[in-house]
Amino acid sequence: MQNLRSLLPILVFTALYAALSLSVTNSYYQLVMTLVPVWAVFGLSWNLLSGYTGLISFGHAAFFGIGAYTTALGQIYFDLSPWMLIPIAAMLGGIAGFLIGFPTFRLSGHYFALAMLAYPLAILYVFEWLGFQEVTLPIKRDNPIAYMQFSDPRLYTLLALAMMLGTILLTRVIEKSRFGMALLAIKQNEAAAEAAGINTLAWKLRAITLSGAIAGAIGGFYAVVLLVVTPQSVFGMLVSAQALTVAMFGGVGTVWGPVIGSVILIPLAETLNAEAGSRFPGIQGVIFGLAIISVILVAPEGLFWKLRDFLRKRVTSPAAATPSAPVQPAAAIASRSRPERPKGAGEVVLEVRNLSRSFGGLKAVQNVSFKLRRNEILGIIGPNGAGKTTLFNLLNGFLRPGTGEILLDGRDMSGRKPHELCEAGIGRTFQIMRPFLRMSISDNVVVGAYVRARTDAEAKQLATEAITRVGLSDIADRIAGELTTKELRLMELARALAGQPRILLLDETLAGLGHDEANEVVTVIQRLARDGMTIAIIEHTMQAMVRLVDSFLVLDHGAVIVEGEPEAVTRDSRVIEAYLGKRWMAHAPN
Amino acid sequence: MSQQNNKTSKTSLTRRTVLSGAAAMGLSTIARAQAPAEVKVGLIVPLSGIYTRPGQVMRMGAEMGIEHINAQGGIKSLGGAKLKLVVIDCGDTTEKAKNAAQRMVAQETDLVAATGSYLSSFTLAVTEVTERAELPMLTLSYSDLLTERGFKYIFQTAAPASRQSELGLPELMKLAEKASGKRPKTVAMLMDNTATSVATAKALKEKIFAQEGLQLILEEVWTPPLSDATPLIQKVRSARPDLLLFMPNAVSDAKLGLEKINEFGLGQGKIPTVSFSITIAEPDMLQSVSPEVVQGIMTIVANWGSKGHEDLIAELKAKYKEPWMTQNVISTYGDMWLMKLALEKAGKADRRAVAEAFRTMDGGPSKHYPGGQLKFDEKGRRVGAGVVVVQWQSGVPVTVYPPDLAQAAPFWPKKSS
């Protein structure tokens, strides 16, 4: 029901567009009406990869061009119909996506974007070399319909519209499923996504394959509309740019973006060509460019988000004025002392033996060994640069150990990928928070649940439980962008919990919190421990730490200097010298 | 420039006033009842983007043609109806060209014929639209593919690319033999990979080299734009061919190549250099290279301002400050006259009737295209279309072949070593 309602605007838009296109009689406007959904679909295919994962592709023309040439060459050399060739184009586009994605996903950020730029340009030369500088789709006077050659151009519009609707629906399904969540998580923080149990490479490959298939299909259709295929017209820079332009103008990461961009920009460009271009040839490009620049300046994320933020503000401003309810009803005042739990009795769940890792000459972690017992809270302390976060990165698979072993329930897990370790039961949070700002708390947390859940419903269930455990139930629908630092910390904790880990690695979870806020978070952590969670925590706030942990591991220059119970460790002279400082003694809690 | 324009528009105004005065005197009152006062013809050329310059030049030819036709009484079989030029910018991409063509047929519904497109890729896209709209389209583009699609509404005035080399190269060989006493035996070919060059090269390699006893000793292909011609020319220097075919399609590529040829001491005839497009003879060339660099270089083209066009060339110089008349001007100028001929024959301002007139016309020898007749075969190719050989002589590319059109005698650059 909810789903149907969210689809309503799309269906209404499509119906209106179809009605409008049927009423147009001028064949030029009919052509423009056809090109709008064509470029919208191409923008959507780009959006599926780049909009959701944040990996900008400058090379979508590669898939588009492969599709266009499939239709053209298939008809010329094998006398196949576009009805059959467009699905083949989709298949080839998908294969190209996979083949291109596999090596290219080793790169990220700007490097990925630049590498993608190379593919269509390289393929362009291949097609020129093959002698396909100019290819035309033969006119079929006998059986035009079988070859998708309609005498009424409005049929092309309807066909393009159908492809657009199909792509939108597909994108919506993906957006709502774990596929979409995985892509969004990758966009926000690929490392965090991997740590949350998402096999990022696999999802990215799925995304680029699907994206390539859609681009291939629409490229194949475009050849039917354009009738002439040249390498420049389907593999050229301008084609790749077109996908970026419509998507970024309309809004990245939403199905509406490319549609809005295309509905505005394509007719605008055509009108400029027709009106301004006939009087001052060349001026159309200048106006078009200026229009895009000004919109990007005003709405850097695209028109859709600007509009949505504007509307949301107007709708919610009265509600937002009411003070937010006390967030932590479940949290009792942090207990002054460590809750009594049996010590040293639990079985060992994680054992680290002689773990080392160097970066060049720097020995970041040297020969670290310790045991983590079930239901224990281990505090890891040490001065900045002592190797604490590096140790966590080794434990959850971001880094491969140089030497040493990480035994989880007795099995050696060293060198495994983060998502595998997450699956095995190691969850973690980060020193620097990477929330998915535009998503609600529930959606943020659901991302972490997929590692455990088989269905979307199960994931929802796990997420709800995790949110309850950290006490954020009341504001679960709030957008992450509106939360306080404490709420964000708790949300990150919930995301890690949603994957039902057995061991939690918390990296400076109290950083940036005030005294009272820190107490609330400490309470939550204590509650988790009481419920059977095993926790390793990095923290600088010693006051909170001594109340929280069962034992300390003190690192300096990558090596363990002391290990033991809080009372003993805080009185150890080496620890005081290396980390706590002389003043600690004066203020030390008794 | 603007003064010049004002002046010309004033003269044409007076001319028009006189003519309409004549019409008002009752000469064509009866005809006017059936025939329109003006007949629209289209010119669809690139006026924005990187191909603007050729588009502008084609527009000059069209405007001159229209002006001359109207000044000489318009379309007589339509009661002296005037031709009116509708100019449409086809932009710089295939998609823009296709959209512009669609706009042309949808919004200028009373066009009876059109010409233009320049780049053959654009012409391909444009004619896909005009064919379906049954609008006859003349073109100076010479890709073979244009008239191999079984289309009924395209008329190609130039010899197709494959035919141009077939016609031109044997003449060059004869010229070489006459001037230097021996036939060239070896040839090197440097070409870009645009559609026209590829088509020309194919014809050369498959047929003409063997026929002329030429041995291809070096073949290099580049993708425009050429960033550095040094490696290409180095290879030419070590290969030492008797003849160099240099086939750029961008002025910048032509300039780079020729400068490098000169720098390596191969210029000015040490290795006779021949091209196959008008690029190397464009007025723009002189903006970047000196006349000495291009002296003696020859190119085989589909059309050029030649003997018999002296008045036109003078008018073009005076009016538009163009130093000489390229294929783009003279062909488009001739297209206007060809449209007039078809309109006279059709006797009505109807695109299908005009197309039929093109198909069936037999207008005798052509004044504005080299060789052949004003007659089209079933593919839409002009019957007997020939080529022109143009040679740079003292800073001007002049027609040197065929003899009846030659403005100057050709000279074969003397090989010094």
Dump pLDDT digits (tens) for B229-283. 999 999 999 999 989 999 998 888 999 999 899 888 887 767 888 998 888 998 8
Is A136 in Cβ contact with B124 (below 8 Å)? Answer: yes
Can you count the helices (H) and strands (E) in chain B? 15, 12
Chain B touched by A27 (CB under 8 Å): yes
**Chain A residues in contact with B117 (beta carbon < 8 A):** none
Dump pLDDT digits (tens) for B168-224. 888 888 887 877 778 889 999 999 888 788 888 888 999 899 998 999 999 999 888
d(CA B113, CA B118): 16
- Give the per-residue pLDDT at A139: 84
For residue B19, what pLDDT band results from cuts at 50, 70 and 90? very low
Q: Helix, strand, or coil here: A370?
A: strand
pTM for the structure as a whole: 0.79
- Mutation target vs B (from A31, A137, A149, A228; most B CBs, 10 A cutoff): A228
Chain B touched by A26 (CB under 8 Å): yes
- Mutation target vs A (from B47, B56, B95, B162; most A CBs, 10 A cutoff): B95
d(CA A477, CA A479): 6
Find, among B54, B34, B32, B35, the residue nearest to B44 by Cα.
Answer: B54
**Chain A residues in contact with B128 (beta carbon < 8 A):** 136, 139, 227-228
Chain B touched by A278 (CB under 8 Å): yes
Which residues 6+ apart lie within 8 Å of A297 measured at CB?
Answer: none
Place of tokens 């063997």: B210
SS3 percent helix, strand, coil of chain A, rounded to 5, is: 60, 10, 30
- Give the per-residue pLDDT at A545: 83
Chain A touched by B93 (CB under 8 Å): yes
Chain B touched by A65 (CB under 8 Å): no
- Judge contact between A134 and B143, C-beta under 8 A: yes
Find, among B231, B235, B241, B226, the residue nearest to B188 by Cα.
Answer: B241
Q: How many CA atoms lie within 13 A of B92 on its CB side?
A: 14
- Of all residues in chain A, the one with the smallest CA distance to B123 is A228
Cβ burial of B76 (10 Å; 0-12, 13-18, 19+) is middle
Chain B touched by A11 (CB under 8 Å): no
For residue B412, give how far its alpha carbon lies from the nearest alpha carbon of chain A (Å). Answer: 34
- Give the per-residue pLDDT at B194: 80
How are beta strands B38-45 and B111-116 bridged, if at all?
Answer: parallel
Longest dimension (CA), chain B: 75
Q: State both tokens at B302.
A: 């589909």
Contacts of residues A569-573 at CB distance under 8 Å and 24 or more positions apart, as own/partner, are: A570/A542, A570/A546
Find, among A371, A380, A429, A377, the residue nearest to A405 by Cα.
Answer: A371
Starting at the edge strand found earlier in the chain, the sheet holding A403-408 runs A362-373, A348-359, A403-408, A411-412
CA A127-A130-A136 angle, to 5 degrees, is 70
Per domain, the residue ranges of chain B are: 2-159+306-386, 162-301+389-401
Whether the pLDDT of residue B1 is over 70: the answer is no
Is A138 in Cβ contact with B149 (below 8 Å)? Answer: yes
Chain A touched by B98 (CB under 8 Å): yes
For residue B167, give how far its alpha carbon lies from the nearest alpha carbon of chain A (Å). Answer: 23
Q: Helix, strand, or coil here: A283?
A: helix
**Chain A residues in contact with B131 (beta carbon < 8 A):** 139
d(CA B235, CA B230): 9
- Span B79-92, average pLDDT: 92
For residue B324, give how far its alpha carbon lies from the nearest alpha carbon of chain A (Å). Answer: 24
- Mutation target vs A (from B88, B92, B103; most A CBs, 10 A cutoff): B103
- Give the per-residue pLDDT at A410: 83
d(CA B214, CA B116): 36
- Give the per-residue pLDDT at A344: 52
**Chain B residues in contact with A139 (beta carbon < 8 A):** 128, 131, 149-151
For residue A55, give how far its alpha carbon lies from the nearest alpha carbon of chain B (Å). Answer: 28
CATH 3.20.20.70 matches A348-587: no
Alpha-helical runs (H) found in A130-199: 154-176, 178-188, 190-195
Is B103 in Cβ contact with A274 (below 8 Å)? Answer: yes
Helix (H) or strand (E) run with residue B391 in it: strand B388-393
Residue A401 main-chain phi, psi, to 5 deg: -65, 145
Angle of helix B52-71 relative to helix B2-22, nearest 10 degrees, comes to 30
β-bridge mates for residue B391, sequence order: B298, B398
d(CA B256, CA B165): 24
Residue A91 main-chain phi, psi, to 5 deg: -65, -50
- Judge contact between A449 and A443, C-beta under 8 A: no
Find, among A251, A240, A248, the residue nearest to A212 by Cα.
Answer: A240
Chain B touched by A286 (CB under 8 Å): no
Chain B touched by A572 (CB under 8 Å): no
**Chain B residues in contact with A72 (beta carbon < 8 A):** none
Q: Which of residues 102-141 of B touch A (CB under 8 A)?
A: 102-103, 105-107, 120-121, 124-125, 128, 131, 133
**Integer CA distances (angstroms), A459 to A181, A196, A424, A442, in order:** 11, 13, 17, 10
Per domain, the residue ranges of chain A are: 10-271, 348-587
Place of tokens 């006390």: A326
For residue A295, give how far its alpha carbon lies from the nearest alpha carbon of chain B (Å). Answer: 24
Residue B39: how many other CB atoms lie within 10 Å = 24
- Give the per-residue pLDDT at B32: 45
Is B105 in Cβ contact with A125 (below 8 Å)? Answer: no
What is the number of residues in chain A?
590
Chain B touched by A35 (CB under 8 Å): yes
Which residues 6+ apart lie within 8 Å of B396 measured at CB?
Answer: B323, B324
- Mutation target vs A (from B48, B146, B149, B249; most A CBs, 10 A cutoff): B48
Dump pLDDT digits (tens) for B285-328. 888 888 888 888 999 999 999 998 999 999 999 999 999 999 99
CATH 3.40.50.720 matches B162-301+389-401: no
Question: Which DSSP category does A55 fall into?
Answer: -
Chain B touched by A284 (CB under 8 Å): yes
CA B129-A125-A51 angle, to 5 degrees, is 80
Q: State both tokens at B254.
A: 């032509």
**Chain B residues in contact with A277 (beta carbon < 8 A):** 47-48, 89, 91
Cβ burial of B288 (10 Å; 0-12, 13-18, 19+) is middle
Residue pairs between chains A and B whose CB atoms are closer than 8 Å: 99
Is A282 in Cβ contact with B52 (below 8 Å)? Answer: yes
Dump pLDDT digits (tens) for B342-393. 999 999 999 999 999 999 999 889 899 998 899 999 999 999 999 999 999 9
Q: State both tokens at B105.
A: 């047929």
**Chain B residues in contact with A31 (beta carbon < 8 A):** 98-99, 102
Is B99 in Cβ contact with A28 (below 8 Å)? Answer: yes
Place of tokens 């010899």: B159
Cis amide leading into A501 (omega within 30): no
Chain A touched by B52 (CB under 8 Å): yes
What is the number of residues in chain B?
417
For residue A273, give how far its alpha carbon lies from the nearest alpha carbon of chain B (Å). Answer: 8
d(CA A365, CA A578): 16
**Chain A residues in contact with B142 (beta carbon < 8 A):** none
**Chain B residues in contact with A278 (beta carbon < 8 A):** 87-89
- The two domains A10-271 and A348-587 share their CATH topology (first three levels equal): no
d(CA B191, CA B236): 13
d(CA A435, CA A492): 7
B93, B100, B193 member nearest A233 (Cβ):
B93
For residue A143, give how far its alpha carbon lies from the nearest alpha carbon of chain B (Å). Answer: 15
- Judge contact between A24 and A33, C-beta under 8 A: yes
For residue B103, give how far its alpha carbon lies from the nearest alpha carbon of chain A (Å). Answer: 5
d(CA A570, CA A551): 11
Whether the pLDDT of residue B402 is over 70: the answer is yes
CATH fold of B2-159+306-386 reads Rossmann fold (3.40.50)
Whether the pLDDT of residue B76 is over 80: the answer is yes
The 3-class SS string of A423-486 reads HHCEEECCCCCCCCCCCEHHHHHHHHHCCCCCCHHHHHHHHHHHHHHHCCHHHCCCEHHHCCHH
For residue B120, give how far its alpha carbon lies from the nearest alpha carbon of chain A (Å). Answer: 9
- Of all residues in chain A, the one with the smallest CA distance to B93 is A233
Chain B touched by A78 (CB under 8 Å): no
Whether the pLDDT of residue B4 is over 80: the answer is no
- Judge contact between B302 and B284, C-beta under 8 A: no
Question: Which DSSP category does B76 fall into?
Answer: G
**Chain A residues in contact with B94 (beta carbon < 8 A):** 226, 228, 230, 232-233
Find, among B337, B401, B324, B400, the residue nearest to B367 by Cα.
Answer: B337
- Give the per-residue pLDDT at A341: 55
pLDDT in tens, chain A (590 residues): 456 677 888 899 999 999 999 998 888 899 999 999 999 999 999 999 998 888 889 999 999 999 999 999 999 999 999 999 999 999 999 999 999 999 999 888 889 988 999 999 999 989 988 888 888 888 888 888 888 888 888 999 999 999 999 999 999 999 888 888 888 888 877 877 887 788 889 999 999 999 999 999 999 999 999 888 999 889 988 889 889 888 988 988 888 999 999 999 889 888 888 777 777 777 777 877 887 888 888 888 888 888 888 887 776 554 444 444 444 444 444 444 455 555 556 788 889 988 999 888 888 898 899 888 888 899 998 888 888 888 888 888 888 888 888 888 888 888 888 888 888 888 888 777 777 777 788 888 888 888 788 888 888 899 999 999 888 888 888 888 888 888 988 998 898 888 888 899 988 888 888 888 888 888 888 888 888 889 999 888 777 788 888 888 888 888 888 888 888 888 888 888 777 776 666 665 54
Q: Report the percentage of chain B scoring pLDDT > 70.
A: 90
Candidate CATH numbers 1.10.287, 3.40.50, 1.10.490, 1.10.3470; the one for domain A10-271: 1.10.3470
d(CA A285, CA A308): 29
d(CA A7, CA A199): 30
SS3 percent helix, strand, coil of chain B, rounded to 5, is: 50, 20, 35
- Judge contact between B304 and B398, C-beta under 8 A: no
d(CA B153, CA B155): 7
